[in-house]
Amino acid sequence: MNTLPDSAAIATVALPAILDLRAATPLANALLASRGRELIIDAEQVQRLGGQCLQVLLSAALTWRADDIPLSISKPSPDFLEGLDLLGIRSVHMLEALSSHPGLNDPEQDGTVVLDKDLSR
């Protein structure tokens, strides 16, 4: 899984506002599509975080760590942090720490994947 070209090195996945039951599968697909690249998960828009989307994010962190590629969370919204907190993830760093990589230096990137905003009601 480390064989992907380094040129499209950094991917960004922007999380939608509502991370509920319906958002889990598209989120998993979007993250999978970025596998093998450095990943920035943009959590700025998040208003609601559910258990299943948390699972996907945690699984992504584990996956990126298994691939030995950095993953970071950018601009977490207060609601996102509160959601993590409620579900037993103390902070965004806990999530990032799973991938055991220092954060990225350069937030400018290509290969952005944006989730369908219409998922949110």
Place of tokens 């690249």: 37
The 20-39 contact track toward another protein, x by CB under 8 A, reads xxx-xx-xx--xx--x----
Choose one: 9-17, 60-68, 108-116; the region binding another protein (CB under 8 A).
60-68
Task: List the Cα angle 58/18/97 in 5-degree steps.
Answer: 20
Tell me which of 4, 87, 109, 111 binds another protein, using CB under 8 A. 87
116 binds another protein (CB under 8 A): no
- Measured from the CB atom, is 8 or 82 closer to another protein? 82
Q: Are 58 and 98 contacting, i.e. CB atoms less than 8 angstroms apart?
A: yes
111 binds another protein (CB under 8 A): no
One-character DSSP codes across 36-87: TSEEEEE-TT--EE-HHHHHHHHHHHHHHHHHT--EEEES--HHHHHHHHHT
100 binds another protein (CB under 8 A): yes
CB of 2 vs another protein, minimal distance in Å: 14
- Enter the DSSP assignment of 27: H
